[in-house]
Chain A
Amino acid sequence: MKKILIVDDEADFCFFLKKNLEVRGEYDVLICTDGREAFPAIKKHQPDLVILDILQPFITGGEIAEKMKVDPATADIPFIFLTAVVKEAETTAHEGLIGGHYFIAKPVQAEKLIEVIDKVLQNKGEA
């Protein structure tokens, strides 16, 4: 079981995403709906992957990612950005990457998200 932490202020979104990921039986999904608590939670739970919503109140997904990168305890944990402010066309045009990071446009179908999750986890395994 891979541990995935979702950081998104939209609780209902998190609720369904958790359901849709866990139905596979491969992931254990944790939820954090307050960005301010995200970094301590990541540090504490040491997930295999973090899904970060970009536009959140108090702190952005980008800022959380910065914190993760500079802290040795979290620097190796991969993350995926999930956001409502990009167009799908912008992410698919570069194979899902913007500036070397995975970006996924909301709304996303679970199947597509899982594809990316598996790819990222696989890369991590190889690294």
Chain B
Amino acid sequence: MKDLKIFIIEDDPVSVKFVSNLLTNVLTKDPLDVKHLDSAGTLKEGLAALKDDFFDVILLDLDLPDSKGINTVEVINTHFPAIPIVVITGAYEDGLGLKAVAHGAEEYLLKGKYDVVMLNKAITYALQRKKVENALRYSEEKYKMLIENLKDVVVRLSIDGTIEYCSPVITEFAGFTVDEMCGTKIDDYFAEDAEIKKLHEIIYRIIFDKSVMTEEFVFRPKHRAPFWVEMTGKPVTTEHDTITVQCVMRDITERKQAEEQVRCAYEELKETQAQLIQSEKLSALGRFSSGIAHEVKNPLAIILGGIEYLSVELADSSGDVTEALEKIKASTMRADKIICDLLQYARPSELERHKTVVLDVLNETISLLKYRKSFKHIDIRKIIPNPKLTIDADSNQIQQVLLNILMNALEALPDGGVITIGVIERIISDLDPVRPSCVIEVHDTGAGINEDDMARLFEPFFTTKRDIQGSGLGLSMSKMIVNNHGGIMSIKSKKGFGTTVLVALPILDDDIPVFS
């Protein structure tokens, strides 16, 4: 230890002299290198001198004229926490020396009962301990400052989720005071049961695996709406040897918003891509279908001609041959129907619009279906408040749409059931948010549509009815016709509750009722 500066606070000049002698005794085997020695007779003088100059160590008498006992140590320690104190006390029996050490002194000596070795040792120990203590305090303060200046909240949780510590920034973060938070359970600040369960699982994992984990939660602040936080927890062993979880909680609202924007953009992109693929498919279909129609219809014409020729030639044959020919003929006509649908789809006829009374088209359509076998067990209910409701439409094409929809409804009811048809003027905001549209709704009491199939209903060639010769063009064609009329078509279905098809078309202008 070099260049030591020692300050003695002692009112007895004899004692001061004694100490000074010991400290400056050159005969000592291992002397302290004392550079400067000063003293004061009272606490007041001592504090004043210490303020003026820096000293490495204080030798303190506990029996001063202006201060007695432990209090003296505490006062000096408060003013100069970085300077080690060696107390010199009158008697061992009163325990004052030990008490002084407990209250901030580094070492103690008994007055008149120490020699140069003991003094040197006491001073050396005191310096050494204070050094360690100072380093510790410095690091603690640095750490505390760091935590308290963070925007992120530091929380220490016990294994059951009780908040043992919480950094003061919580007030700015969530409106709670530190006192309000400490002792409560972290559960109270999370809204959802599932989140609380997740949190407890994570606390358990952190403590059990001694691992660091990060997870996102929705945090409920005091007076604001809940917001997203990211919590990173790590296991920390406390002075009592129990393991707690130290968490850093960060507000990630902005990040979440950005993520949401990215997600929305992605969804939009996906949607656009799907539409592109769909329209690409359609245009390819358009390009090919005319050619296909020509190439397929010619062989079909030959097959049909052949069958008719054979029917005549084999007119006297057995019933089996006749039946076989009938079957070939039916299949040929079916293939032709699919090709015709395809042509219709790819090359829709020009719209021949005229004033069309919806009920008239509907009745004509129903009359077309009346001769079907399955129609017998169907109860058709019409709910049509305005039988004169008129649209500007190609009645042939609208009839085709209704026919498709009603055929589907019939096919959904192989064992009979109810088909409810409603025609009403209603605002359909997707079509026209201001003026009412003509809404045709067809509900059947069938089994409903599988959820997996819902998204593909309007896809060309998608059919669940291969077994009963569905071409998969009915609904996609209907939708196209409705769209060509400036309308929209949608389908709602629930397993076990049947299916509702909605077609909304613009009403003829002069037919719109005026609301005043």
Residues of A within 8 A of B (CB): 10, 12-13, 15-17, 19-20, 23, 55, 84-85, 87-90, 93, 105-110
Q: A13-B298, A23-B312 are in contact. Are A85 and B293 (CB under 8 A)?
A: yes
Q: Point out the residues of chain A lying under 8 angstroms from B278, CB to CB.
A: none
Contact code string B284-305 (vs A, CB < 8 Å = 1, else 0): 0000001001100110111111
Q: Point out the residues of chain A lying under 8 angstroms from B306, CB to CB.
A: 12, 16
Minimum CB–CB distance from A87 to chain B (whole Å) comes to 5
For the complex of A and B, list the 6 residue pairs with the smallest distance between their C-beta atoms, beginning with the closest.
A16-B305, A84-B297, A107-B301, A106-B301, A107-B304, A107-B300
C-alpha gap A90/B297 in the complex (Å): 15
Shortest Cβ distance from A85 into B: residue: B294
* Contact (Cβ within 8 A) B303 A107: yes
* Contact (Cβ within 8 A) B340 A87: yes
**CB within 8 A of B396: which of A20, A93, A105, A106?**
A93
* Contact (Cβ within 8 A) B304 A108: yes
Shortest Cβ distance from A55 into B: residue: B294
Q: Point out the residues of chain A lying under 8 angstroms from B128, CB to CB.
A: none
Shortest Cβ distance from B304 into A: residue: A107
Q: Which residues between 385 and 409 of chain B lie within 8 Å of chain A, taking CB atoms?
A: 396
Residues of B within 8 A of A (CB): 290, 293-294, 297-298, 300-306, 308-309, 312, 332-333, 336, 340, 343-344, 349, 396
A12-B302, A106-B297, A108-B304 known, 19 other contacts, Cβ within 8 Å: A10-B298, A10-B302, A13-B298, A13-B305, A16-B302, A17-B305, A20-B312, A55-B294, A84-B294, A88-B336, A88-B340, A89-B349, A106-B300, A107-B301, A107-B303, A107-B305, A107-B333, A108-B301, A109-B304
Minimum CB–CB distance from B192 to chain A (whole Å) comes to 59
Q: Point out the residues of chain A lying under 8 angstroms from B344, CB to CB.
A: 87, 89
C-alpha gap A113/B302 in the complex (Å): 14
Q: Point out the residues of chain B lying under 8 angstroms from A109, CB to CB.
A: 304, 308
C-alpha gap A106/B293 in the complex (Å): 10
C-alpha gap A110/B306 in the complex (Å): 11
* Contact (Cβ within 8 A) A90 B349: yes
Q: Point out the residues of chain A lying under 8 angstroms from B303, CB to CB.
A: 107
* Contact (Cβ within 8 A) B298 A84: yes
A–B pairs, 25, beta carbons within 8 Å: A12-B302, A12-B305, A13-B302, A15-B305, A16-B305, A16-B306, A16-B308, A20-B309, A55-B294, A84-B294, A84-B298, A85-B293, A87-B343, A88-B340, A89-B344, A106-B300, A107-B300, A107-B301, A107-B332, A107-B333, A108-B301, A108-B304, A109-B304, A109-B308, A110-B308
Shortest Cβ distance from B312 into A: residue: A23
* Contact (Cβ within 8 A) A106 B340: no
Shortest Cβ distance from B349 into A: residue: A90
Minimum CB–CB distance from A96 to chain B (whole Å) comes to 16
Q: Point out the residues of chain B lying under 8 angstroms from A17, CB to CB.
A: 305
C-alpha gap A90/B344 in the complex (Å): 10
